[in-house]
Amino acid sequence: MIENGKRRLTYDLAVKIAQVFNAHPDDIFLDSKLTVGEQK
């Protein structure tokens, strides 16, 4: 399962999930603890 790290979420699936919630994938799945410098 995704929660325990045995499966990975593809970007295509993340987009589909985000569309259900009328959001962007980053809004749902990007760890908000990351800073701009850590994302590069």
- Cβ 9 vs Cβ 29: under 8 Å: yes
Instruction: Report the percentage of the chain scoring pLDDT > 70.
Output: 70
Q: Identify the three-state secondary structure at position 14.
A: helix
Question: What pLDDT score does 8 carry?
Answer: 76
- Cβ 24 vs Cβ 18: under 8 Å: yes
Please check the confidence at residue 22 and state whether its pLDDT lies above 60: yes
Per-residue pLDDT tens over the stretch 3-21: 676 777 889 999 999 999 9
H-assigned helices in the chain? 11-20, 25-29, 36-39
